[in-house]
Amino acid sequence: MKNKIITNVACATSSGGDHTPERGVYNENSGSDLERNLALLINNTEEAFVLVDRNYSIITFNHKFKELYALNLNRNVNKGDSILDYAEPDRREAVRQLYQSVFTGEKTASEIAITLHDSSTRNFSIFYKPAYDENGNNIGAFVSACDVTERKKTQELLISNERRFRSLVENSGDIVAIISNDA
């Protein structure tokens, strides 16, 4: 049953040739081919994925999600664990409320900074979406997370350089001309 739910959440039903209009996907693969290909797709992405049921239990996750917790947070991930146990104790109630809103059909996106076990900080962009079964019933939440630390650092560097450049231009008594080769 779990494999069928996972397959449906990911876009298509597992029986060959089924059309799922609410997902807009036509599946020509057999169930086992689809499941294998889906697993390859999910496990070879840079995004971390986790599927959580309406009781906050982890149904499944990809290798990137496990790696995120194992390598960065020094924590093992197990199917059946409560996703709330993976939140910082002071944030558990906020995380529970966030999942409750997803269980009612809302989509949510956020960016968070996490201090890792080595004291470094990583930034993650996280998307929370309702997960539906083949009948359109909300069965939980599908969460994806992407490490955006390098993008964040680049943005901060650009903002810092722009401030310094602006200050130089505004405080200079000399005439400043900017010549661009882009013409």
Q: Closest by alpha carbon to 115, among 150, 76, 74, 84?
A: 74
DSSP 3-state assignment of 12? coil
Residue 112's pLDDT band (cuts 50, 70, 90): confident
Lowest model confidence (mean pLDDT) among 66-75, 111-120, 127-136, 143-152 = 66-75
> In sequence order, which residues have a C-beta less than 8 Å from that of residue 59 and are 6 or more positions away?
2, 5, 6, 51, 52, 53, 79, 140
- Residue 52 is predicted with a pLDDT of 96
Q: Report the distance separating Cα 124 and Cα 79, nearest Å.
A: 22
Q: Report the distance separating Cα 72 and Cα 66, nearest Å.
A: 10
Q: Are 73 and 50 in contact (CB under 8 A)?
A: no
- Residue 19 is predicted with a pLDDT of 36
φ/ψ of 88, rounded to 5, equals: -60, 140
Q: Which helix (H) or strand (E) holds 49?
A: strand 48-53
Q: Decide if pLDDT at 72 tops 70.
A: no
Tens of pLDDT, residues 9-66? 333 333 333 333 343 343 444 567 888 887 788 778 888 999 999 999 999 999 889 8
- Considering the chain, what percentage of its residues have pLDDT values greater than 90? 34
Q: Report the distance separating Cα 43 and Cα 65, nearest Å.
A: 9
Q: Report the distance separating Cα 5 and Cα 129, nearest Å.
A: 15
Mean of the per-residue pLDDT values of the chain: 78
